[in-house]
């Protein structure tokens, strides 16, 4: 495990490493946190899970919808929307290019197929293209 990279504080590198390890898990499990022992790591997890529920992330989603519209990039649906992280590298200070708006159905379908990883840009683009083709040519469904 490489912990130190040039230009990154050890704390930031640790967080990235931690998240990378976390997202290698096939599913985010509710029982997983209880099995972690190191205090430091538990604090990092709390940071992530509290962020996802935070007003800051809610405001970030609203800002994203305001710029790009609150519709699924695949089906155009506007109900039950979420903003998907194509990359978690800038968690807490996401760039627009890290994010994409998806309906819950397509968001669930994505993670069912690809799981969860630190960086899922290539997978997200492939998924969107594949799903758009299915909508265009329903005979291939
Ligand atoms: Zn959709
Ligand atoms: Zn997602």
Instruction: Give the whole-number percent of the chain exceeding pLDDT 70.
Output: 66
**How remote is the CA of residue 29 from the centroid of ligand 2, in Å?**
15
Decide: pTM greater than 0.85.
Answer: no
**How remote is the CA of residue 140 from the centroid of ligand 2, in Å?**
25
pLDDT band, very low/low/confident/very high, at 124 (cuts 50, 70, 90): very high
Ligand nearest to the CA of residue 105, numbered in listed order: 1
**How remote is the CA of residue 90 from the centroid of ligand 1, in Å?**
24
**How remote is the CA of residue 111 from the centroid of ligand 2, in Å?**
6
pLDDT at 113: 96
Closest CA to 130 of 141, 117, 115, 121: 141
Q: Chain-centre distance of CA 69, in angstroms? A: 19
Ligand nearest to the CA of residue 76, numbered in listed order: 1
Ligand nearest to the CA of residue 106, numbered in listed order: 1
For the chain, domain boundaries: 10-140
Least confident of 30-34, 69-73, 106-110: 30-34
Ligand nearest to the CA of residue 131, numbered in listed order: 1
- The number of beta carbons lying within 10 Å of the beta carbon of residue 42 is 13
pLDDT band, very low/low/confident/very high, at 4 (cuts 50, 70, 90): very low
């Amino acid at each position: 495990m490489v912990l130190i990279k040039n230009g990154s504080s050890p704390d930031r590198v640790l967080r990235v490493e931690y998240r990378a390890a976390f997202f290698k898990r096939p599913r985010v499990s509710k029982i997983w946190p209880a099995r972690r022992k190191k205090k430091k790591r538990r604090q990092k997890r709390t940071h992530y899970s509290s962020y996802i529920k935070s007003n800051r992330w809610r405001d970030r989603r609203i800002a994203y919808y305001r710029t790009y519209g609150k519709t699924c990039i695949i089906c155009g649906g506007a109900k039950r929307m979420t903003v998907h992280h194509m990359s978690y590298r800038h968690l807490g200070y996401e760039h627009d290019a890290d994010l994409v708006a998806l309906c819950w159905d397509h968001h669930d379908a994505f993670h069912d197929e690809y799981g969860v990883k630190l960086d899922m840009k290539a997978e997200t683009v492939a998924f969107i293209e594949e799903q758009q083709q299915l909508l265009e040519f329903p005979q291939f469904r």
